[in-house]
Amino acid sequence: MNEPVNPYAPPQHLPPLVAAAIVDPQESYVEYELTLDEYLAFNDFYQRKSPAARATFRKAWTLRATIWVAAGLGAAAVVYRLAPGAFATTAMIVGIVEAVWLSLYPLQHRRAIRHAVGRHYRQDNMGMLFGRRRLTLTPEYVVESTPYSQTITRWMGIVEVCVQPDAIYLFTSAVSAKIVPSRVFANEADFRRFGSLAQDTLAKAHRVPQATN
């Protein structure tokens, strides 16, 4: 008797699903809670790292610079027409104000982004973001467990591992990552060792051909 065809089956070229419990004697794990400051620090890092985020900032800065320069030139023209004697002083004041404002814009932009992101994160009222979690590294998977959920990701599903002074970021997409703060380790050596393990395992996963059935 023929097996029924599953109309929802994935394409054959995809790797097999993770359908069994993950048990691995070579696992390394760390348990911790995340704070709002650590999410904000990740966002700051993303804003510096992401080409898309940097391009958005440059466009916003250029737009504001254009508007302010145009406004300054318009004000200077009016002053020159109405009070030519005050033109030089007015032009200097306008130039200084514009230069100071544009130099402060990166700080204003960062504060605005942090405020918006912080407001978004504060909407979490179930402990999904800030509750206790365990992040486990095995040769095959990255496993994140919380009181509410468990996510299992093959290393091929990790885009990049970035080790920063205050945290390790395991990027699962261009805009999201699993965050491991340095403060949760007993010492700097353990933190660096965990980060190196994550980077080495990811590099190995990308060198090994993946199963297709």
pLDDT tens sequence across 13-31: 556 655 555 555 567 889 9
Question: What are the boundaries of each domain within the chain?
Answer: 28-35+126-207, 45-121
For residue range 67-121, list pLDDT tens digits in order. 777 777 777 777 777 777 776 777 777 777 777 777 777 777 778 777 877 777 7
Which one has a higher pLDDT value, 120 or 135? 135
Res 213: pLDDT: 42
CATH classification (class only), 28-35+126-207: mainly beta
In terms of average pLDDT, the best of 35-39, 78-82, 209-213 is 35-39
- 125 pLDDT band (50/70/90 cuts)? low
- Cβ 151 vs Cβ 176: under 8 Å: no
pLDDT of 65 higher than 60: yes
pLDDT of residue 17: 55
Task: Give the SS3 label for residue 160.
Answer: strand
- Report the distance separating Cα 62 and Cα 44, nearest Å: 21
Distance CA 59, CA 136 (A): 40
> What pLDDT sits at residue 212?
43
69 class by beta-carbon count within 10 Å (0-12 exposed, 13-18 middle, 19+ buried): middle
Q: What average pLDDT does the segment 137-148 reach?
A: 89
Per-residue confidence (pLDDT) for residue 63, from 0 to 100 = 80
Confidence band for 127, pLDDT divided at 50, 70 and 90: low
Give percent above pLDDT 90 in the chain. Answer: 31
